[in-house]
Structure 1
Amino acid sequence: MDNFGGPVARLHIVGATVVDGSGREPGGGTVTVDDDRIVALGARGTSDERLDAAGLTMTPGLIDAHVHLGLSSPIQPQFSFQISAAEIAADIFAAAGSALDAGFTTVRDTGGIDGGVVTAIAKGKVRGPRVLSCGPVQCQTGGHGYYGAEWEPTELWSSHHIPGLCALSMMAGNADELRRNVREAFRRGATFLKLCVTGGVVGGKDRLADTQFTVEEIAVAVQEATARGTYVTVHAHNNDGIRNAVEAGARCVEHGTDIDEPTAALMAARGVALVPTFAVVERLLHDPAAAGLNESVRARVTGVRERMARALAVARDAGVRIGLGSDLIGPAQDRRGEELALRAQLETPMDALVAATKTNAEILGLDEIGAIAPGMKADLVLWNGNPLNDPELFANPANAVLVMQAGRVVKDLR
């Protein structure tokens, strides 16, 4: 089958083991797709309407809730503006295509791209998943997300943005500046907001223990997002920063490295979701150079994976909704599914899959994807083997032998 141009006509996919994304036990039977939708489960069709998927496992298209397409070039050269706009664009588009090839039909970009990239992919000019973007990350003056040189006047940082393509971050020194910046982010195509409320691993002068932005400042961003029917998520590692964000009305926490029981209970009570990010930690521990970073990053990330694993368990026990994000940065973004394999070591392969489908769809506010059911968008992946038995299959894009996005076959290795 070669149908990269448009949605399929009525098609019966037969013989696959079907894992529908709900957490229920896998089943068998036929999945029928018509145009961009799943229209039936269990129907039969004529021979010329059939796609034989015997021996393969079908899952919903995967969702990565924490990506950085705008950071697809070597990081330090990009931060020091040694890479041309053409190369940055080429790297972004290559990373978008590799996400599809790994079985990810939807991603949430949590900082780095402007609306132009989203539009180019949505129009089919570039291969890539469905993209939701916050545009530039919102950070406080000199806080996490700012990577300019010490001697560089802060106002020069935003002048390095490439309108419509790449925008790393916008700095604010007070609530009024933050309000102006988030309004600018929405103007440039953001559909939600991301704030850095603690220090980070890949940081300049900030530490993971730092808190950034006050409750009152974060609340300004929440107010602006609410006015547009959307939400704020926050980069946050420590409990003080997380609690500030929750008190201000943020709806989601990225990373959550040191979440303790009281903070998890607060998040659960307020309906605040968590998106842990293990793949980037694993990569930076073992090969920071692959992301274009120096060895100093290794010291900053040491111990983070173990703490994040404890936080995952604490949040799960408290009843927090837990999604899944890879947070991969730099040019090595082709094995995005490693996040599911890593999560499967801490929970179960089914838990990891549900987090990457049903739960992520809920966190992103998308009610037409994340499950295999009649009426849902036909975002489907056929896997060579059963990743519930061997979750390492998720990590190798070659195992995603067929990827369908909204009824279009966007990859077919059969």
Structure 2
Amino acid sequence: MGRLQVVGAAVADGTGHDPIDVDVTVEDGRITQLGASSDEPGERLDAGGLTMTPGLIDAHVHLGLSSPIQPQFSFQISAAEIAADIFATAGAALDAGFTTVRDTGGIDGGVVTTIAKGKVRGPRVLSCGPVQCQIGGHGYYGADWEPTELWSGHHLPGLCALSMMSGNADELRGNVREAFRRGASFLKLCVTGGVVSAHDQLTDTQFTVEEIAVAVQEAAARSTYVTVHAHNNEGIRNAVEAGARCVEHGTDLDEPTATLMATRGVALVPTFAVVERLLHDPAEVGLGESVRDRVLGVRERMTEALAAAKEAGVRIGLGSDLIGPAQDRRGEELKLRAELETPMEALVAATKTNAEILGLSDQVGVIAPGMQADLVLWNGNPLEDPKLFADPANAVLVVQAGRVVKDLR
């Protein structure tokens, strides 16, 4: 892989410190030095006028939901087209500056290994495999008349597996073991209703504390964790009591529940970009107008939840939750968060904090000697103009583990 010296960039290292002009030296995929570059052999990259950040991390993606949603859920799209859409989305993530993503449901293990082998362009992927759902809960999109046991027959082994249904704790234990067998590196459970749901409301709770605890036990046996899809406080509290380590969305999170999360060390990953997309044009993602009614008010409540979590001291990551086609503007999530916090706080959430949540803080998330060289060079300074994060054209150069994977210079 050799030696690469990036010279002249203003470096925002992901820790929250202001950018400084410093040269970055990379050898064999890792950062070896911050400081004046040397005359040793290797590629020298002039980055004057550009801003360097760590490779961005999206902690809530759905690569397996890259096709129009309703046609995919009703099985009108071929496996070949679904695969093409998945891999196009993976490449678009790199082009938007995201070198690592956490897939929170929809892909099977073959997608992860295909990208890791370099057969298609894409970020480093951590995946839960299929989401774990209770019978008839969020994540089930079969027809009303279709027997539940037929649902898993719609999986495309090695490619696409949206969710698995459990009727009790024993069935859940079997399903999470199957998810791990198929390559999951963590688990995700749906413990409340959802916005894009067919059979529930946001106020519904799903799975009991005892059932969630079974998944936590199985995850702990493999030195990993459970995150939960949760919109309401009762569902969040059930998950925290059972030992979950992360909450996705958290739309109606209140101050007492946020304090409980902080006390137990449970992280939060808000998801604003998908809300904006569904409010703007549900048809763009392949959904009907009825979903707009379900999402009304979610943006405002999620904003209040973010403030409550910050006040309580919860570790807060960043996730886009984009679904359907056209997932190329993944950086919209940073722009939206920058409007609610500061651009620097959004960057830290998408780098250092997300790496901690994903269990990768010893590998990625900051620019420091010994870390993997996941780097993005931005045209301009997105900390002064966070709209730059939202346009992939502004990520003029992307480096993943020391390899240049995008170069628009």
Could you say which residue in structure 1 is the equivalent of 2:232? 238
Aligned to 2:347: 353
For 2:12, the equivalent position in structure 1 comes to 19
- Does 2:333 match 1:339? yes
Q: 1:281 to 1:95 in 2, by over 3 A?
A: same
Displacement, 1:48?
6.4
Aligned to 1:3: none
Using the alignment, how far apart are the partners of 2:25 and 2:42 within structure 1? 13
Aligned residue for 1:66, secondary structure, equals strand
Q: For the residues of structure 2 that align with 1:206 and 1:378, how far apart are their CA atoms?
A: 44
The structural deviation recorded for 1:255 is 0.1
Cα distance change of structure 1 residues 86 and 49 upon mapping to structure 2, 3 Å threshold: closer
The answer on whether the counterparts of 2:92 and 2:327 sit within 8 Å (CA) in structure 1 is: yes
In the alignment, is residue 378 of structure 1 matched against residue 379 of structure 2? no
Aligned with 2:3 (options 3, 6, 10):
10
Q: Matches of 1:330 and 1:67 in 2, distance apart?
A: 11
> What SS is found at the alignment partner of 2:397?
strand
Aligned counterparts of 1:370 and 1:140: Cα–Cα separation in 2: 34
The reply on whether 1:152 has 2:178 as its aligned counterpart is no
Q: Say whether the 8 Å CA contact 2:3–2:42 is kept in structure 1.
A: no
Structure 1, unpaired ranges of 5+: 1-6
Q: 3-state DSSP class of the match of 1:401?
A: strand
Kindly indicate whether residue 5 of structure 2 is the aligned counterpart of residue 35 of structure 1: no
Asked if structure 1 preserves the Cα contact closer than 8 Å seen for 2:127 and 2:186, the reply is yes
Q: TM-score, length-normalised on structure 2?
A: 0.99
Q: Match for 1:219 among 206, 213, 216? A: 213
Secondary structure of 1:235 counterpart: strand
Partner of 1:183: 177
Note the C-alpha offset of 1:11: 1.7
Structure 1 partner of 2:87:
93
Q: In structure 2, what is the Cα distance between the partners aligned to 1:44 and 1:100? A: 27
Q: Could you say which residue in structure 2 is the equivalent of 1:248?
A: 242
User: What code does the residue aligned with 2:130 have?
Assistant: P
Matches within 5 A, 1:59-74: 59-74=53-68
Q: Distance in 2 between matches of 1:220 and 1:125?
A: 36
Determine if the alignment matches structure 1 residue 398 to structure 2 residue 393: yes
| In 2, Cα distance between equivalents of 1:165 and 1:126 | 14
1:389 aligns with 2:387: no
Consecutive unaligned residues of structure 2, counting only runs of 5 or more, are none
CA distance in 2, matches of 1:291, 1:245: 30
Cα 1:244–1:412 change in 2 (3 A) is same
Tell me how far apart the structure 1 counterparts of residues 17 and 383 of structure 2 sit (CA, whole Å): 12
Q: Which residue of 2 aligns with 1:413?
A: 408
Q: Report whether the alignment pairs 1:106 with 2:106.
A: no
Q: Which amino acid aligns with 1:15?
A: G
Match status 1:306 vs 2:300: yes
The code of the aligned residue for 2:270 comes to P
1:37-52 matches, cutoff 5 A: 37-46=30-39, 49-52=43-46
Q: CA deviation at 1:29?
A: 1.6
2: CA distance, partners of 1:190 / 1:50: 39
Deviations 1:225-273 (A, max 9, x none): 0000000000000000000000000000000000001100000000000
TM-score by length of 1: 0.98
2:161 aligned residue: 167
Contact 2:66 2:89 in 1 (8 A): yes
Structure 2 counterpart SS, 1:32: strand
CA–CA distance in structure 1, aligned partners of residues 319 and 199 of structure 2: 25
Aligned partner letter, 1:178: L
Answer yes or no: is the 8 Å Cα contact 2:5–2:42 preserved in 1: no
Q: Aligned letter for 1:99? A: A
Structure 1 Cα separation of the partners of residues 3 and 162 of structure 2: 43
How far 1:45 sits from its partner (Å)? 2.4
- State the 1:25 CA deviation: 1.1
Partner of residue 264 from structure 1, selected from 258, 268, 288: 258
Residue aligning to 2:200:
206
Residue 31 of structure 2: SS of its match in structure 1?
strand
Q: Secondary structure at the match of 1:307?
A: helix
Aligned AA for 1:303?
G
Cα drift, residue 49 of structure 1:
3.7
Closer/same/farther in 2, CA of residues 30 and 213 from structure 1, 3 Å limit: same
Q: Which amino acid aligns with 1:140?
A: Q
For residues 114-167 of structure 1, give each alpha carbon's deviation from its aligned partner in whole angstroms, at most 9, with x where no partner exists: 110000000001100000000000000000000000010111110000000000
Amino acid at match of 1:296: S
CA displacement, residues 1-45 of structure 1 (integer Å, 9 cap, x when unaligned)? xxxxxx3x2121111110000001110120011110000001322
SS at match of 2:57: strand
Give the match for residue 296 of structure 1. Answer: 290
Partner of 2:110: 116
RMSD, aligned CA: 0.8
**In percent, how many aligned pairs have the same letter?**
84
